[in-house]
Amino acid sequence: MNDLRIDVTPPPLTDARQTELRTTTPLPIPSSDGGSDGDGVDRRASRAAPSTRDELYRRFWTQVVDKLRRAAPTWYVPSPHPRSSLRIGCGVSYRHYRIAFADRRLRVDLYIDAPGLELQRERWEYFLSKREQIEADVGQPLTWQEQPDSRASQIAIYHPGEVDITDQRRWSGYRTWAVDSYVRLRTATEPVLHVLCADSCRPASMSQPAQR
């Protein structure tokens, strides 16, 4: 019996086929590093391209940062970014200030953290002992948000009423309120922060009873 031989050598490519292969866009390679959520959408691409709201935040913070640098030239002010909050360091570990949009509200707050729950409670109690003086210096009552089961608590000022970042006609009022509130809150709370920084953040005066 004669052996049956099949020629599997591919035929030469025509000029048209070679052109097609060179110009065809390659299919995306599935990602294994979290780039896709399994629905074929590349989340990295959506994160790379800022949304309209992200761009609005970036533009708004750019204006706020400029105003802050003129209002308090000796204080550190971060670069603007396309996020809903502006975090402002104050040179003290575990504490920083924030100006933030959240739940259709605009707020300025002091974020108070600590390496452990016990130390966090002591710091919070010390701030509470200074509450009357701090609110007098700020010029208005503040929102004291203790989180007993968390290392972090906040002292906040809220803009009256709802806010909308997409309403650019109101930005001027938002900027003025945010900068003024931040300057007042920081000026009133910095002396307390300085005391907390002394003696490894555990001053003897911490033991005095809190005023609630």
Tokens 């035929």, residue located: 11
Angle made by CA atoms 197, 203, 204, in degrees to the nearest 5? 175
Pairing of strands 95-102, 143-145: unpaired
pLDDT tens, position by position, 54-90: 999 999 999 999 999 999 999 999 999 999 999 998 7
Residue 99 pLDDT: 97
Low-confidence ranges of the chain (pLDDT < 70): 1-50, 93-94, 148-150, 198-212
Q: Containing H/E element for 137?
A: helix 131-138
**Environment class of 35 (CB within 10 Å of its CB; exposed 0-12, middle 13-18, buried 19+):** middle
